[in-house]
Amino acid sequence: MYNSGDGRLVGVPFADAYVDSAFDKADFGLRAAPRVGSYAGFVFASLSSDVESLEDHLGGVRRYLDLLIDSSPDRQLNVVDKGSLKYMVPANWKIQAENVLDGYHGPYTHETALKMDAESWNIPDGYVASFPHGHGAVNLILPETVELPDAEKFRALAQMPGGSDERGGALNISGLRGMSDQIKREYFVALVESHGPERAAEVLGAAGMTIYVFPNLYIQPLNQHYRVFRPIAADQTEAEIVAYRLCGASEAWEQTMLMKVNGWATALGFGQPEDVEVFASIQEALQARSVEWLDFSRGLHRERLVDGAVTASFDDETCMRGLHEEWLRLMSKEVV
């Protein structure tokens, strides 16, 4: 048993068997991580002291973490204190990481689930952004028109990407599927009042985003939760799902989001069980000796460098290439 505060070993079963032994609990405490830092409320640790600062490591993906925090009217996320959901994925951890960076599979693997979540379903538009150090973001722009209660008040919001007040005050909002218009209006009002119309518009323009922080953190604001992946073996990964609340959002918003998490990311949901089924199939297929290389070339021809990030269409494999390049860079380093 370890002290949860400092990691000291404070107890072992049947300790009296160590009388006159060299065994000393002080020698068997948990090893302290030499580098620990936090950003946007997430705590990151490195078991190597030979790493750059957390801010440098995160680099361009910080902009997306800032948008995540600002999606809360009070600029704070609170973890839902009902515990987390853990499950084992019978596949290598990189398959889970590739999956969260992939917009290509969504309309096909999750066609049924997505149709249940909206009256009409369209193939999404959007983009991927791959950052140095393997991080990535996917922003799905899902067309959805919302009638505004006060067109004048939201005129500035209509300038957001995808929005247009030429449609009589209607606003095109990405990613807030499955929400009633009333719940959305309350959320928009809270955001505008808290952050001002310009920042609120930026936040809403990114409402269809998901964020991946290399190697093992994934955040999905569309269904308010984050996941941490833990490699257990070459073909086994533990995934932990934690739901969060947006402080300052209405209770109706939070209840709807909890329903969305349950409907997507749990064993009784539709989204993640479909993905895990595919992960197992991919892991099995990777045992084939007849195919030596996997093809990750999708969208290579249309990549662009924008503000230090490599971007391409939402369905391109740009972020997967970034993930594997970073993994190869780290695994090729000399071990000291």
Q: Which residues bind Fe ion (CB under 5 A)?
A: 275
Cβ 112 to Fe ion shortest distance, Å: 12
Cβ 102 to Fe ion shortest distance, Å: 7
Q: Are 93 and 229 in contact (CB under 8 A)?
A: yes
Which of residues 183 and 239 has its CB atom nearest to Fe ion in the complex? 239
Which of residues 171 and 241 has its CB atom nearest to Fe ion in the complex? 241
Cβ 274 to Fe ion shortest distance, Å: 7
Cβ 79 to Fe ion shortest distance, Å: 23
Q: Are 32 and 7 in contact (CB under 8 A)?
A: yes
Looking at beta carbons, which residue is closest to Fe ion?
275
41: left (phi over 0), alpha (psi -120 to 50) or beta: left
Cβ 107 to Fe ion shortest distance, Å: 10
Cβ 279 to Fe ion shortest distance, Å: 10
Count of residues in the chain: 336
Which of residues 70 and 275 has its CB atom nearest to Fe ion in the complex? 275
Which of residues 174 and 210 has its CB atom nearest to Fe ion in the complex? 210
Which of residues 187 and 279 has its CB atom nearest to Fe ion in the complex? 279
- Residue 185 CA to residue 247 CA, distance in Å, equals 16
Which of residues 98 and 275 has its CB atom nearest to Fe ion in the complex? 275
Nearest to 69 by CA among 226, 272, 215, 184: 226
Cβ 272 to Fe ion shortest distance, Å: 7
Contact residues for 309 (Cβ-Cβ < 8 A; gap 6+): 60, 129, 130, 131
Which of residues 105 and 199 has its CB atom nearest to Fe ion in the complex? 105
Contact residues for 163 (Cβ-Cβ < 8 A; gap 6+): 157, 171, 172, 173, 201, 204, 205
Cβ 245 to Fe ion shortest distance, Å: 23
Which of residues 95 and 200 has its CB atom nearest to Fe ion in the complex? 95
Question: Any idea what the Cα angle at residue 286 is, between residues 127 and 105, rounded to 5°?
Answer: 25
End-to-end Cα separation, the chain, in angstroms: 31
Where would I find the H helices in the chain? 54-58, 62-70, 93-100, 106-109, 111-116, 181-195, 197-205, 251-265, 271-285, 318-331
* Per-residue exposure over 17-36, b if at least 16 CB sit within 10 Å of its own CB, e if not: eeeeeeeeeeeeeeeeeebe
